[in-house]
Amino acid sequence: MPALSSVFAAGSTEFSSVYVEFGLLLVLLGLLSRIAHRFGFSPVPFYLLGGLALGEGGIVGVDPQGTLLPPLSELGVILLLLLLGLEYSGREIIDHARRQMGPGVVDVVLNAAPGAALGLILGWGLAGAVALGGITYISSSGIVSQVVRDLRWRRNPETGPVVSILVIEDLVMAPYLPILTVILTGTGLIAGLISVGVALAIVAVVLFVAVRRGDKPFFFRSSEPAGLLLVVFGLAVAAAGIAGLLSFSSAVAAFLVGLLLTGEIAEVARRRLDPLRELLAAIFFAYFGLVTEPAALLVMLGPAVLLVVVTVLTKFITGWYASTRVGGGTISRLRAGALLSARGEFSVIIAGLVALNGALPNDFEALVAAYVLMTATLGPVLARYIEPIGWWWDQRPVRSSA
């Protein structure tokens, strides 16, 4: 088979350097993950820092466009949202939304406003305001779930309200991402309304089907994990691709595919896909660091710090209010605020969408990178060390008014 052998030989020569760079990147990310877990932190900021160190303007200067990273990072986004959808059923989504509708509205108003205001102040117009408002609004479900697992907070009173708020935020992303795309691309009003209407209709149909379907059997049984893995992942990737062709969010499409699967099927799919999710999510965050100029990041450090201070405070207000509604004490309210403080995957997804359209200057990506780095680090740290503050507050002597 001379033709086949020549193809392999050519491919081996052409991709050898790419494989070397990719392999070394994975080794570095593995070491960074080990360091992060050793000290009880989320690995997300470590992945971002690793990408910054290796990208153009960093220590090594790797060109991310000449690697395997762009398509793999897209798959990382798809898997992140697919696994997030597998966490919930349609009924749980609706119940969460009903229970925490009030805190959900407070969450939107308090946390989107600072980002939108800064976008306007920096002269980025409507596109910058809408994009930055979404970035400061959405908390990191991935980081929150990791912190809850690490600190064993699953049965804590604040965990339920926090999860409810995260679910509402994820649902808000369904119409938000098409709206942002319309603004970034300058699509006309009629076309924009159609795009957003289609997005809302798709979400409504999927929720309706998910609620009516319940735990009915899927095409594959949980006793066939290999086939189940291929079908579920394939459906998510295909749905993301079709969504992209229809100007719908590929990330939300993957989330909706996960939402349709419940019960034992969803549990088996989560177990099978979780290691792959960890791999591709690490690549996704590293890729965002690779395409960010460290010098530009330093330029935007001041606005990023200001934004972190304001939006961490607003997330604490949101968490305090949500926990109060279920009777949580001071420590529980502070824990809720700390959990919600971290931004991560969706903030980076929004920044990636902006970068893809080229509608905003590179300073926008640098600001988001600095912001996500700080909040993704600060959130887990606050969660780990916030309890003594709550304990001190509850134990402080109260002076008599007499």
Q: How far apart are CA 259 and CA 93, in angstroms?
A: 9
pLDDT digits 0-9 by tens, 107-138: 999 999 999 999 999 999 998 999 999 999 99
**Residue at 22 is within a domain:** yes
Q: How far apart are CA 334 and CA 329, in angstroms?
A: 9
On whether the CB atoms of residues 266 and 28 are closer than 8 A, the answer is no
Q: How far apart are CA 374 and CA 395, in angstroms?
A: 31
Q: How far apart are CA 53 and CA 62, in angstroms?
A: 9
Q: Please, what is the end-to-end C-alpha distance for the chain in angstroms?
A: 97
Rg of the chain taking only CA atoms, in angstroms: 22
**What three-state secondary structure class fits 199?**
helix
**Residue at 75 is within a domain:** yes
What pLDDT does residue 93 have?
Answer: 66
What pLDDT does residue 322 have?
Answer: 87
DSSP-based helix, strand, coil % in the chain, nearest 5: 80, 0, 20
On whether the CB atoms of residues 116 and 133 are closer than 8 A, the answer is yes
Closest CA to 381 of 326, 339, 352, 333: 339
Count of domains in the chain?
A: 1
Residue tagged 């979404």 (tokens): 134
**Residue at 174 is within a domain:** yes
Q: How far apart are CA 111 and CA 233, in angstroms?
A: 33
DSSP secondary structure string, 285-300? HHHHHHTS-HHHHHHT
**Residue at 8 is within a domain:** no
Residue tagged 């979400």 (tokens): 203
How many residues does this entry show for the chain?
A: 402
Q: Token pair of 282, please?
A: 């690490």
**Residue at 393 is within a domain:** no
Per-residue pLDDT of the chain (402 residues; tens, 9 = 90+): 555 455 445 455 666 777 777 888 888 889 998 888 887 677 877 887 888 888 766 676 666 666 677 788 878 878 877 887 777 666 666 676 677 788 889 999 999 999 999 999 999 999 899 999 999 999 987 778 777 777 777 778 888 788 888 878 877 877 787 788 778 876 666 666 666 666 666 666 666 665 565 555 555 555 666 777 788 888 888 888 887 776 666 777 787 787 777 777 777 778 888 888 888 888 887 887 787 777 777 888 999 999 999 999 999 999 999 888 877 778 888 899 999 998 887 888 888 778 777 778 888 988 998 898 889 888 888 888 877 665 655 555 545 444
Tell me the CATH number at 211.
1.20.1530.20
User: Domain residues for 306?
Assistant: 16-385
**Residue at 47 is within a domain:** yes
374 contacts: CB under 8 Å, gap ≥ 6? 45, 304, 305, 308
Residue tagged 């466009």 (tokens): 65
Q: How far apart are CA 197 and CA 174, in angstroms?
A: 11
**Residue at 391 is within a domain:** no
Q: How far apart are CA 152 and CA 320, in angstroms?
A: 20
**What residue spans of 342-398 are helical by DSSP H?**
345-357, 362-385, 387-395
**Residue at 398 is within a domain:** no
What pLDDT does residue 134 have?
Answer: 94
Give the CA angle between residues 172, 239, 196 to the nearest 5°: 35
64 contacts: CB under 8 Å, gap ≥ 6? 55, 70, 287, 290, 291
